Structures are given as C-alpha cells and as structure tokens.
Structure 1
Amino acid sequence: MARALVIVDVQNDFTEGGALGVAGGAAVAAGITEHLRDHPDDYDVVIASRDWHDPDNDNGGHFAVDAAPDFVTTWPRHCMAGTEGAEYHPDIDTGLIDIHVRKGQGVPAYSIFEGTTDDGRRLVTALDELGVTDVDVVGIATDYCVLASARDALAAGRRVRVLSDLVAGVAPETSAAALRDLAAAGAEVVPSRA
C-alpha cells in the first residue's frame, strides 16, 4: 500500500488577489506546506497540479470571449502558461513536490487526472507505476477541481480522503455540497489532524 498527497491547483490566480481568487486560498497553501513538514513520512509521493492554459486561444471554450463568463463552464482568463498567475502560490514549498501535472492545455480540464506529468504520463499511469492505492486530496477549488479530482481518484479505484481543512472553494454552499457528494461516493472527508 502506498499513499499519495494530491495538491490541486494551489496557484496565484486561485488565491486572494488572483484572477479567480477564492477566500482562504493563501491559508490553504500555507497549511499544505505545514502539513507536509509535520508529516514527512505519511506520503510515498506528493503530486501537484496547475492549470496551464494556452494564452493564444479560448482553451476549448473554457474562457468567455464574446460574452460575460457564467462562472460555471466559462471563466475569465486565468492561469495562462508561463505567467505569475499560473505559478504555485509562494507558500507552497515546491521542494516537497515529487510530480508536477499540467492540465487545461487547450481544453477545459478540472481534474488532475485530465492533465499530464512533466514527463508526459497520465496521472493514473504514474499512480499505477508507484503502487499508489490511497490518495489524500487537498487544494483549490473544493467545488470544482478538488471535486473533479477526488471523483476521478475514486473512479480509478483509489481509497480517497479529502482533508477538509486544506481545501478552499468558490462558495460555501457549493463547497459543502461537493464534500457531501464525495462522502456519498465513498471518499472520507476528514480534517488533516485526524
């Protein structure tokens, strides 16, 4: 049995002051680093994703171009490849990350499982190769990318825990609903101190 920590999209554009900043994003970044430093032996591998959008197109309709964004399927431009907004929040200690995943390259992508690692693998392939059976999920946004990533981890046959104090969402109501949905689907929703 091997356990992975999956860090979803803790990027400047998704934290306070960013293009799509969520309340509590910076605290989540600091909390994840603290959690990893306090529990250095809990994880066999640490994996982190970043939205990494193509600046030269609408990324498969992901960006609102001719109308206002609906904030459900269309969004303002964010996490443009190579920009400060696409970088990890500075409170994430990137030295603790073993595998980096980029997603949303030319297409809408919410789940870390839709991206590719720096060496071109799909995440499920990397998890299989490492023998990862258990996944802890943390990051941003609870009600979108964390939800999609945890669902895909369950669908890939992993035991999933969502660390409830290390996620931040767009809205309190939809974030709470996302955590209820994940619990109903078989994920454990627990605080990191459990």
Structure 2
Amino acid sequence: MIDRKEENTAVLVVDVQGDFTQLMNGSLAVEGTDQAYLDQVTAETRRLKSLGFPVFATQDWHPADHISFVTMHKGHVPFDVIDLNGTDQILWPPHCIQNTPNAEVLVDNGLLEAIVKKGMDPRYDSYSGFFDDGNHDTGLDALLKTHGITDLIMFGLTTDYCARATAMDARSLGYGVRLIRNLCRGVAPDTTGTAIEKMADVGVVMV
C-alpha cells in the first residue's frame, strides 16, 4: 500500500468515464464497473490526494464522426477488426462523444490538477494518454514535466487498452510506473492477461 508522499510522483487516473461503466449503462461498459468500483476509485484517489500526490486524469473525447466508431463503416458490426492505414482497427460502438454526459470523468474533478483529453482527431484512435495512433502528442508529457513528475501511480479503464497503452508509453518516455491492478478493469480476460504481461515486460510494477 502506498501510504506516504513520494517526491516527483503523481497519480494518473485513466478514462474513468461513464461510457466505460456499468454504473452509467455505458455503450462500452466493462464488467465490474458498478457503484462499488467507482466508490473504490474515488476513495483511493481522495486518499492519495490527501497524502500530497498531485492527481491527473485522461479523458476520451471523441468527435461524433470518429474513425473508430462502427457507425462510420457500413457493413460492419461492433468489434469487427479492419485494416486502417496498415493498422488493425477495432470498430467500437460510439462512446465518449464530446459534450455528452457519458464522456465526463466520474472522479470528483475537484481532486484533479488537470484532465488531458485524447482521441479528438477523427482520423486516429487514441488509447494512450500520451499519443494517438498518428503519433500526435496529447500534451500529457509536457504537463507532467512542468510539475517535475518522474514517476506515476496509475489506475483506471481499461487494463487491456487505454491503461496498457498509457503505461507503456509512459515507460518509453522514461517514467517509473506502478499500476494498481485492483482499481483497473479489463475488456476481456485474454487481452487483459496479455496486457499485464506486456506491461511487466517493459518494467511496469503491479501493486
């Protein structure tokens, strides 16, 4: 358990938004994301904040015509995988559309230093909080460096997609990363297991 302030360390809450939760009947609701889960996340965020850790969050913030939405691809159904510019693209149900209630970050925004939006370019998916699939920078790295952050404590949604991609990009940028596993939820057991292995391989510490 993390029970004291650590210098140059921040908390990063990944994509805890309505469309990923059962609590809000989200279009991409992940198993185990009910009121109890949100209460857990909120309590731990509040506790870490009270210890003196700055807290940041990422937020999927898609335009309605985002390329990852199945509604943009006639003849396909949700979760089909297509080739898009040489990359496998999963076609998702529309989710986290800008200025809709289920796009909001559910953790008390008063606890957050800043919310970094991602996935705003309709041409590219953006699992990572640092870069989209077109390698465009979200500004998160610069923001953390401005605050003197070298290490991250991470949790959120989902283990196998956005949390994984954010953690792995953080490691590639030189950050130390600890992932609080019991405050994450994954889309599917197989992809979650693979994600945990890949994160461990690059030095993400599971706590």
TM-score with structure 1 length normalisation? 0.86
Query: What CA distance in whole angstroms lies between the structure 2 residues aligned with 1:28 and 1:101?
Result: 22
Residue 155 of structure 1 corresponds to which residue in structure 2? 172
Does residue 68 of the first structure (1) align with residue 83 of the second (2)? no
Q: What secondary structure is seen at the aligned counterpart in 1 of 2:110? A: helix
**Deviation for aligned residue 1:103:** 0.7
Q: Percent identity?
A: 36
**Deviation for aligned residue 1:181:** 1.4
1:2-57 CA distance string (max 9 Å, x none): 111111110000001200000122344322211122333545321111111112x2
Residue 46 of structure 1 corresponds to which residue in structure 2? 55
Q: What secondary structure is seen at the aligned counterpart in 2 of 1:25? A: coil
Contact 1:154 1:187 in 2 (8 A): yes
- Equivalent residue for 2:108, pick from 81, 89, 93: 93
Q: Which has the higher strand share?
A: 1
Q: What pairs up with 1:1-194 in 2 under 5 angstroms?
A: 1-16=7-22, 17-26=25-34, 27-55=36-64, 57=65, 59=66, 61-64=67-70, 65=72, 66=74, 67-70=76-79, 73-89=90-106, 92-105=107-120, 106=122, 107-114=124-131, 122-190=139-207
Aligned partner letter, 1:2: N
Considering only aligned residues, what root-mean-square deviation do their CA atoms show, in Å?
1.8
Contact 2:160 2:191 in 1 (8 A): yes
Residue 87 of structure 2 corresponds to which residue in structure 1? none
**Deviation for aligned residue 1:70:** 2.4
Moved more, 65-74 or 154-163: 65-74
Contact 2:129 2:138 in 1 (8 A): no
Number of residues of Structure 1 aligned to a counterpart in Structure 2: 181
Query: What CA distance in whole angstroms lies between the structure 2 residues aligned with 1:144 and 1:46?
Result: 21
Contact 2:10 2:153 in 1 (8 A): yes
1:28–1:157 Cα change, 3 Å: farther
Query: What CA distance in whole angstroms lies between the structure 2 residues aligned with 1:14 and 1:6?
Result: 17
State the structure with more CA Rg: 2
| Gapped regions of structure 2 (runs ≥ 5) | 1-6, 82-89
Query: What CA distance in whole angstroms lies between the structure 1 residues aligned with 2:117 and 2:38?
Result: 18
Query: What CA distance in whole angstroms lies between the structure 2 residues aligned with 1:42 and 1:146?
Result: 23
Contact 1:5 1:43 in 2 (8 A): no
Query: What CA distance in whole angstroms lies between the structure 2 residues aligned with 1:68 and 1:167?
Result: 27
Query: What CA distance in whole angstroms lies between the structure 1 residues aligned with 2:147 and 2:91?
Result: 35
Aligned partner letter, 1:97: L
